[in-house]
Amino acid sequence: MRTRFPSLSALSYGAHWPAGKRIAIVASAVAVLLAIAAVVALLTGGGNGHQAPGAATPAPTDSPSSTEDAPKPSSGTGAVPKPPQIAEPVAYAKAAAQMLWSYDTRNTSRDQQLAGMHAWMTGESAYADWASVSGQVPDPVLWSRMADQEQHASASVTEGHFPSAFKQALADDPSAITKAYIYVVTVNGKQQIAWKKGGGGAEERAVTLAVQCRPNHDCTLAAIAPSVTQ
């Protein structure tokens, strides 16, 4: 019987998302989404991923927050892809979701998986919720059992969008975007799972991500929301 990699849509991370940080992330994102939808459409003209929304402002240089699950510097990243150079929130969120839904225990250790995921995170500790992201990775014992079964997964993304509730809230205070440049994006897709001796299967996936996209900077991942918002 196979050992399953935890489903993003089946787990709740409320316990890992401190109230203060959750409020900061969500409050910023709530006030951002509607403006992004209009500004990004104007600036990208349908697809230049390196054009950043909004006016240029200096980006803070806070160091990433550390946790007990922080990856080891020398562990490498295995099969985890490097973060893309994308400055458009939805496009980056789609790439991040695909990364989160993909893994390969045949050639990637748990530490490498964590290190690879950490590379996608924002360096601003005020907004980085590493616990919500690292919580996607099974504990060492379960990862080892998955490796024994040569379990691996790939993912495809069908669409990404700004949730309607956040877009509506943004209408009340669009200028709030200029503080944190945090965007909330919901991504839908499918995960293909396989293991040795020809086993496999596919499942639908959905996740809501907090993505930071400061002007003139590539986007980064801030957090995974405790629940999916459509």
Q: What digits encode the pLDDT tens for the residues 78-129? A: 899 999 999 999 999 999 999 999 999 999 999 999 999 999 999 999 999 9
pLDDT band at residue 198 under the 50/70/90 scheme: confident
d(C-alpha 32, C-alpha 200), whole Å: 40
d(C-alpha 208, C-alpha 9), whole Å: 9
Q: What is the DSSP letter of 59?
A: P
* Residue from 30, 1, 61, 40 nearest 225 by CA: 30
pTM over 0.75: no
